Chains A and B, each alone.
Chain A
């Protein structure tokens, strides 16, 4: 005896379900507990299993259709059984399927007693159709009390809480209350993993979030930081500084570097007595020269000597004057050294072009000029781009040794510490000496350990015999 299968209640709160997919087709033999179909409920996609055995005689609902609880979806019975009478009986009774997208908003004001022709789609979705025919919209006379009631109780219904396409850059799904609370707290909703439906940010999600605030200190009203302090009760209020364009760039580029460039580090400690001595004698010579006009006497720094030494070493080990690209490894035909310069709210890397071809004094003048203009924020973009190798020197800040982050797209950076006075052992005798720690950060995609080591060996030789720096 054939029977109608109704849409079952697959979750405690289910009122309707979308028939996602049929796993049996008409004519298939079905056993008890066989998977008939999958149904998307308000909670999840659920399995719809058979309680009967027999043959699936008729599928009444096409995949994708929304079906109210208890509405017919299929007919099951003996193979070959005539179900036309049964089908006729349900065709005359309550309709089943809302083919998507049958969500029709009836026009306000075109109601309905006696039942109006103005809102036929809401009042009467098409009755259940065999699968093939269910796709075609067949206009029907309104006669579905359940759906009429849905229309008449429309002010009691919430729109389906669907995922919302972000508008105006707003990424998070959140109520006006949550949005206004987030504004008060200075919380970026985009940073919160909402626990509501479709990732909606709920008020309690907000309460659990340690706010990252944006200052609005100028406004006389209670600002976001005060609100944050209140919201978090015991935590002291942080001072908020908006991101400057430079800070944004630093953040972006260094994250890019550390996350995408495989860094490795090579560290050496070089004897620096000769370097310091050479610098002193050069500066003594320069001091004797008569400066033109009011210009300050020329002088050079250890760093200027290092720029020249690095440039020379790069000429000798060109594999380190290279960068990675998706097309292949780029070996530079020029030696342009980026010099990291601290400025009040960040750092910049002006470039000394063709450092290998310039004298130390020339480099010293150029670096001094670049650094001065960097601090005044007067560098042109082209003066800060397209270096081939970077040097970062924190010696003047008392740093002995550190590792630097590669300045993309360059392939390496040399971190320079301060010259240290310390006891050294020479020929089995401890005596006062000077040491300088150098750390090379390499992009392993383009520079291997041995290549980096040979570069550092060249550099060590140059620094420990610095006359070679001057002679190139």
Chain B
């Protein structure tokens, strides 16, 4: 079985191209996806390949083109709606929350909404308070939506293809700082499915639970922890809703300790949800409270150093793990 090295953005592009070649109902729409070749070059070359009917440049009107996408999905097309970043989806929130997520329920099952919303999410570099949001926490709370957040090129491709083929609205959370990350992408992606986490690194002393860019922070922390004799297992969620609570809890049952790492604020959100699962489903396995290393509970500062201070960092993960593994020990 062939495996190639691809960048994260190339993996996403391949997924879209393969699905568009396979199914003429699939099309890409968003700001700068066509003639500009994508704000982050994810859709580079696709306009040339598929033409303006299937790679559609839109005005700067997220609510409008998100709504067009929902309508198109309701009548049988399979749109991929790119937000230049997920920050801009805020103005289209009503389309996603009230139309995409609700149309099957509200129509009594007469309409489905097989749509993909995708784009880079969470922090980039110095894009300021209003453009650094980790929007997955808002969307993962909505029944009727699926939310995935791949960390590696392989999962980016696999989850993008799965999202396009899914008959529900699926939100693909990418990361600007991951677009250039390279990784092995096999031809066979059958093990990449929505709702299934993976063990990105096995370990025995503590479980680090992360997704998207935070998975790489967790892996770096695990490497650091190994030097001091702490064996950290990294669970890469890949899918935030549905959440693979089995993989999370199985790991915690083996390690007895957990630290959640994600971008975005600590109040509520995906990390709090994970902590709920652990305390509810693996309570009797816990040796220590579950800690969360997240973006600090403030609006993101523009100042580069303050921004780094606010974002989850390897050092903070190492410190949190040190606390939970030494908890209660004299």
Interface set of A (CB-CB < 8 Å, partner B): 108-109, 111-113, 149, 151-159, 161, 173, 175-180, 195-198, 200, 202-203
Which of B47-55, B80-88, B317-325 forms part of the interface with chain A?
Answer: B317-325
Cα A153 to Cα B313 in complex, Å, equals 12
Please tell me if the beta carbons of B323 and A176 are within 8 angstroms of each other in the complex: no
Please tell me if the beta carbons of B329 and A196 are within 8 angstroms of each other in the complex: yes
Please tell me if the beta carbons of A197 and B330 are within 8 angstroms of each other in the complex: yes
Which residue in B284, B286, B287, B291 is a CB contact (below 8 Å) of A155? B291
Q: Of all chain B residues, which has the CB nearest A161?
A: B328
Please tell me if the beta carbons of B284 and A113 are within 8 angstroms of each other in the complex: no
For A161, list chain B residues within 8 Å (CB). Answer: 327-328
Which residue in A108, A152, A159 is a CB contact (below 8 Å) of B296? A152
For B296, list chain A residues within 8 Å (CB). Answer: 149, 152-153
Q: Of all chain A residues, which has the CB nearest B316?
A: A156
Q: Of all chain B residues, which has the CB nearest A181?
A: B284
Cα A158 to Cα B286 in complex, Å, equals 14
- 14 of the cross-chain contacts (CB-CB < 8 Å) are A111-B267, A111-B297, A155-B266, A156-B320, A156-B323, A158-B289, A158-B327, A173-B328, A175-B287, A175-B288, A175-B328, A176-B287, A178-B287, A202-B329
Contact residue range for chain B? 20 to 34
Which residue in A108, A111, A159, A200 is a CB contact (below 8 Å) of B289? A159
Q: Report if A155-B298 is in contact (Cβ < 8 Å); known contacts: A176-B284, A177-B285, A196-B330.
A: no
Please tell me if the beta carbons of B267 and A109 are within 8 angstroms of each other in the complex: yes
Known: A152-B298, A157-B291. 14 other contacts (CB 8 A): A112-B297, A113-B297, A113-B299, A156-B291, A156-B292, A156-B320, A158-B327, A176-B283, A176-B287, A177-B256, A177-B284, A177-B287, A196-B330, A203-B256
Cα A159 to Cα B283 in complex, Å, equals 18
The 9 closest A-B pairs by CB, nearest first: A180-B284, A113-B298, A155-B292, A152-B296, A200-B328, A155-B266, A196-B328, A111-B297, A156-B320
Q: Of all chain B residues, which has the CB nearest A156?
A: B320
Please tell me if the beta carbons of B328 and A179 are within 8 angstroms of each other in the complex: no
How near does chain A come to B255, taking the closest CB pair, in angstroms? 10
How near does chain A come to B306, taking the closest CB pair, in angstroms? 11
For B208, list chain A residues within 8 Å (CB). Answer: none
Please tell me if the beta carbons of A195 and B285 are within 8 angstroms of each other in the complex: no
Chain A proximity mask over B279-315: 1 for CB below 8 Å, otherwise 0: 0000111111101111011110000000000000000
For A155, list chain B residues within 8 Å (CB). Answer: 266, 271, 291-294
For B289, list chain A residues within 8 Å (CB). Answer: 158-159
Cα A204 to Cα B287 in complex, Å, equals 12
Q: Taking each of B289, B291, B296, which has the highest tally of chain A beta carbons within 10 Å of its own beta carbon? A: B296
Q: Of all chain A residues, which has the CB nearest B291?
A: A156
How near does chain A come to B65, taking the closest CB pair, in angstroms? 32
Cα A196 to Cα B288 in complex, Å, equals 13
Please tell me if the beta carbons of B284 and A158 are within 8 angstroms of each other in the complex: no
How near does chain B come to A186, taking the closest CB pair, in angstroms? 15
Please tell me if the beta carbons of B293 and A156 are within 8 angstroms of each other in the complex: yes
